[in-house]
Amino acid sequence: MPASQPRSRARDRNNVLNRAEFLSLNQPLKGNQESRSSSRKQSGQAGAAGAQNSNPKERRQSQQLPEEDCMQLNPSFKGIAFNSLLAIDICMSKRLGVCANTASSWGSARSMINLLGITGHGIPWIAGTLICLVKSSTLAGQEVLMNLLLALLLDIMIVAGLQKLAKRKGPYDVNPGLLDYLTMDTYAFPAGHASRAAMLSKFFLNHLVLAIPLRILLVIWALCVGFSRVMIGRHHITDVLSGFVFGYLQFRLVELIWMPSNTCQMLISIW
């Protein structure tokens, strides 16, 4: 026994794994184990607390997310058709906006196109109607002019209300002019100039005796005023087309509420 003890001690001294730098390979340090176990316990407790604090609504929402994703990835046929038509409308409107700025292909003609758009603005038409109403001396002329003034005021209010509801912006970042702010024509849908031009052309075709060339020129003027707004980048094509439709509907509305001559004379006398 005394001889075997020195031999075992010498064997332990000669063992490389018994050195201090290799002790961690044989048995991990207690401090590391305690720190790791404490961190695991803390993370587990935090996860449990988070799971307990989560509301039932959030759990239901997390369960419904895959279904919502499936609905977004599989839209209906109407949604696909609407988005496709909307993309085509935006693309074609940007291509036709040849006078949107001075750097465009027709940038030099922008002032002339703006002048054409002013001929369909509400403020010049209202001012001209009031001047003609003051100078008119016939009952028939005053009746037509009073109803025309009513149609112009209705057009401004209806278009402004629809634009506030839709709040659609134009294809280009073009700031509205001073006259546009006066008539609250700041959004794109529907095109106020197009609705006004369509309403005026239909009104004049029904209540004025015009030769055939003048009637054709009146229709061409309404079309040019409408599509000039696309050329300067203020409206989309669908905005102008919808403006034509709303202009015709406004004309029909004025025909339904047409003020007779007695009513017009009473309003003129009050004014």
Cα distance between residue 114 and residue 99, in whole Å? 9
Nearest-angstrom CA–CA distance, 11 and 22: 16
Question: d(Cα 123, Cα 112) in Å, to the nearest integer?
Answer: 19
- The type of residue at 178 is L
Who contacts 75 (Cβ-Cβ below 8 Å, separation ≥6)?
Answer: 83
Number of CB atoms found within 10 A of residue 184's CB:
17
Dihedral sign (CA 160, 164, 167, 173): positive
193 catalytic, yes or no? yes
Count of beta carbons in the 10 Å neighbourhood of residue 53: 8
Q: Is 236 a catalytic residue?
A: no
| 121, 193, 207, 236: the active-site residue | 193
Instruction: Please choose, from the candidates 236, 241, 228, 243, the residue with its C-alpha nearest in 3D space to the C-alpha of residue 99.
Output: 228
Catalytic residue among 121, 207, 235, 236: 235
* Residues designated catalytic: 193, 235
